[in-house]
């Protein structure tokens, strides 16, 4: 049963806050080491049989595609630059579309303030970036595009001095049709405090909801895209933190880190949970992933024996992929990135069994 807290001190989000720290399953997964020669990965995505890797700090490449089966390079999806079909920045995560014409991805360039529909399949086939659609959104002044419902309706976020707003933009009508403030106003807020709102967003694959996750606050929030007023936050801590404490700890070694990366299915939210001070991140030796359903109920607590700040899901085959940066090689001297694969079929199948009863 989820406990609800009505007092404002327990919740910085607008809406109800829920607490539950009881995970029905605890899973300790052993890894399969796959590859160590894909350099500079900072973020992973999986679509169909393709592994997409955001590359940093390569001066020429932003996004590479690899075969999920062989892990061989398929081609460069996005090049860095100011030329035709080049980009200054890639939004992560990408939102994918699969149809009869191939695999596509929506990508927002923060620097150029443009939204692009990339054809991943044709890019690999032709070995050059294929852009099918482009929307120049510079005049809107928002910070990010989070969800693309269709070719003309976009959900995104924009900063105000004391808040973060979720907005709906109708490209066909060329206007913002609604705005929703996500947080309770921060006392004494100013633009220097905006990093306190550091967050990421993942969409439910059926496009009905989003989950907003916080790096510096020990909580997540689920928001309905049908009705943004239908939303709630939840945590596994009775003291999920406050913006005031973040500002006090900001730029110190005492800053606590919480949810760094999230992946979703139509059933689950997989959220990597740090729960340690920023000064201790280099010493982290394992990864904890919290699994919730879309009502905020804990489903499983997963422990991985390596620290993998970024991960990806292959739901079709039942695997979780984790990236470990700077792992010592066999000679004990050099460091290299390592890609691990973990079997989560049992977790996914147990859920299907319960649903089908």
Question: 10 Å Cβ neighbour count for 285?
Answer: 7
Tokens coding 296: 């905020």
Residues in the chain: 357
Helices (H), the chain: 120-126, 243-249, 345-356
- Which top CATH class is 16-356? mainly beta
Q: Give first-to-last CA distance, the chain, whole Å.
A: 21
Q: Does residue 352 surpass a pLDDT of 60?
A: no
Query: 107-111, 119-123, 287-291: lowest mean pLDDT where?
Result: 107-111
Query: 95-99, 220-224, 324-328: lowest mean pLDDT where?
Result: 324-328
Rg of the chain over all Cα atoms, to the nearest angstrom = 20
Task: Report the relative pairing of strands 16-19 and 231-235 from DSSP bridges.
Answer: parallel
> Quick check: pTM over 0.85?
yes
pLDDT for 36 = 62
Tokens coding 288: 């904890």
pLDDT bin (cut points 50, 70, 90) of residue 29 is very high
Q: Does residue 105 surpass a pLDDT of 80?
A: yes
Q: Are 257 and 199 in contact (CB under 8 A)?
A: no
Upper half-sphere CA count for residue 63 (Cβ side, 13 Å)? 28
Please report where in the chains the tokens 């292959």 appear, as a residue.
Answer: 314
pLDDT for 157 = 82
* Cα distance between residue 309 and residue 329, in whole Å: 19
- Going from N- to C-terminal start, the domains of the chain cover 16-356
Question: Mean pLDDT, to the nearest integer, of 193-220?
Answer: 88
Give phi and psi for 71, each to the nearest 5: 60, 25
């Amino acid at each position: 049963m989820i406990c609800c807290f009505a007092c404002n001190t327990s919740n910085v989000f607008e809406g109800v806050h829920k607490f539950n720290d009881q995970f029905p399953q605890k899973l300790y997964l052993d890894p399969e080491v796959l590859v160590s020669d894909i350099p500079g990965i900072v973020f992973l995505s999986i679509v169909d049989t393709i592994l997409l890797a955001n590359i940093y700090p390569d001066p020429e490449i932003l996004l590479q595609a690899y075969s999920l089966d062989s892990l061989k390079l398929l081609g460069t999806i996005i090049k860095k630059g100011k030329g035709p079909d080049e980009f200054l920045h890639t939004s992560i995560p990408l939102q994918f579309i699969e149809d009869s014409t191939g695999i596509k991805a929506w990508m927002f360039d923060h620097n150029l303030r443009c939204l692009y529909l990339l054809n991943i399949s044709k890019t690999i086939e032709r070995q050059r970036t294929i852009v099918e659609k482009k929307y120049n959104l510079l005049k809107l002044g928002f910070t990010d595009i989070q969800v693309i419902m269709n070719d003309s309706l976009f959900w995104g976020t924009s900063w105000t001095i004391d808040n973060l707003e979720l907005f709906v933009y109708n490209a066909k009508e060329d206007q913002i049709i609604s705005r929703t403030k996500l947080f309770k106003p921060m006392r004494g807020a100013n633009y220097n405090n905006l990093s306190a709102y550091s967050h990421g967003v993942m969409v439910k694959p059926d496009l009905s909801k989003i989950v907003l996750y916080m790096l510096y606050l020990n909580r997540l929030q689920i928001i309905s895209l049908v009705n943004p007023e239908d939303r709630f936050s939840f945590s596994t801590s009775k003291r999920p933190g406050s913006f005031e404490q973040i500002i006090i700890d900001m730029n110190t070694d005492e800053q606590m880190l919480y949810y760094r990366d999230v992946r979703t299915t139509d059933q689950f939210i997989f959220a990597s949970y740090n729960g340690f001070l920023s000064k201790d991140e280099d010493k982290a030796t394992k990864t904890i992933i919290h699994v919730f359903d879309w009502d905020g109920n804990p489903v499983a607590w997963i422990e991985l024996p390596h620290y993998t700040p970024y991960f990806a899901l292959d739901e079709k085959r039942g695997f979780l992929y984790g990236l470990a940066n700077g792992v010592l090689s066999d000679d004990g001297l050099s460091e290299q990135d390592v890609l691990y694969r973990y079997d989560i079929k049992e977790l996914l199948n147990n859920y299907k069994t319960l649903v089908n009863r």
